[in-house]
Amino acid sequence: MEPNIIDIAKLLREDLLDIEKRIRNLDKHSVFKLKEAFVGQHGEMKAQAKLAVRHVEDARMRLGKVCQYADDGISILDKI
């Protein structure tokens, strides 16, 4: 039997949350203690990591919408 789409989406959201946390930890990497190879290198690396976080956050939200529309179509925020 095929797994429920809501269960699959929720598991994927959990995986993405873990990935998001790992991306956020990139700025603690020891490479940032070293001298830059060129001006702005470290800043650009951190900026790109931040953009990656935003995309992962968006993917998590989109999977939340999959759950929403696979259920009753009402946002959990509107149920409060």
- For the chain, the domain total comes to 1
Cα-based angle 66, 67, 68 (whole degrees, multiple of 5): 90
Q: Could you report the average pLDDT of every consecutive run of 10 residues in the chain (80 residues)? A: 95 98 97 97 98 98 96 86
Could you list the residue range(s) of the whole structural domain that residue 16 is in? 5-70
Cα-flanking dihedrals φ and ψ of residue 24, to 5°?
Answer: -60, -30
Q: Residue 75 domain-assigned?
A: no
- Which has the closest alpha carbon to 5: 72, 67, 65? 67
Q: Residue 79 domain-assigned?
A: no
Q: How far apart are CA 42 and CA 47, in angstroms?
A: 9
**Crossing angle of helices 41-70/5-24, nearest 10°?**
160
- Taking the model in full, what pTM does it have? 0.87
Q: Residue 78 domain-assigned?
A: no
- At 80 the pLDDT is 76
